[in-house]
Amino acid sequence: MRYWLMKSEPAEYGIDDLERDRTTSWEGVRNYQARNFIRDGMKPGDLACFYHSSCAVPAIMGVMEIARAAYTDPAQFDKRSPYHDPASTRDAPRWLAVEVKFVKKLATPIPLERLRADRRLASLALLRRGNRLSVMPVSAAEWNVIFSAGPSAA
């Protein structure tokens, strides 16, 4: 089983929306590297951090589980969707979605600032300079630091 981190803007779709919906189709990933993680890496049962980006306090908000492996992202064919991709075709769809399931919301979110302060997370993909991936892997060791030991500035 693998671990992931997936970003969403809370103004668009946040952890509270997922808690209410219980499951959702995670659509709109429009970056090839992120898509390849979805396509080649994600398996049902994998766990992912739900990360809030582009907001007052960017933070890991909770955990979700991959509920269904990659499938064609329907939004790419929807002309009214912001995720519409006129260059994608039904015969050769470009973009993939996964279904995710709510697992838990953290009582205390873990802000980006706190992740940065923990040297054990120095290689976390999220913290790499210029990182813009909306889907990225997290190692088992990193996952344990985040959720078991809890990040600290030590």
Are 125 and 138 in contact, with CB atoms under 8 Å apart?
yes
Beta-carbon contacts of residue 88 (< 8 Å; ≥ 6 apart)? 76, 77, 94, 95
Write down how long the chain is: 154
- # of chain residues touching DNA (CB under 7 A): 19
The answer to the question of residue 123 lying near DNA (CB under 7 A) is no
Work out how close the CB of 47 gets to DNA at its nearest, in angstroms, rounded to a whole number.
20
How much helix, strand and coil, in percent to the nearest 5, is found in the chain? 25, 30, 40
Question: Stretches 27-35, 73-81, 98-106, 138-146: which one binds DNA (CB under 7 A)?
Answer: 27-35
- Residue from 55, 117, 140, 141 in contact with DNA (CB under 7 A): 55
The answer to the question of residue 32 lying near DNA (CB under 7 A) is yes
The answer to the question of residue 130 lying near DNA (CB under 7 A) is yes
Judged on CB neighbours under 10 Å (0-12, 13-18, 19+), 139 is: middle
| Residue closer to DNA, measured from CB, 58 or 62 | 58
Q: How far apart are CA 153 and CA 4, in angstroms?
A: 23
Work out how close the CB of 152 gets to DNA at its nearest, in angstroms, rounded to a whole number.
18
**Binding positions for DNA, rule: CB under 7 A:** 7, 9, 30-33, 53-55, 58, 87, 112-113, 129-134
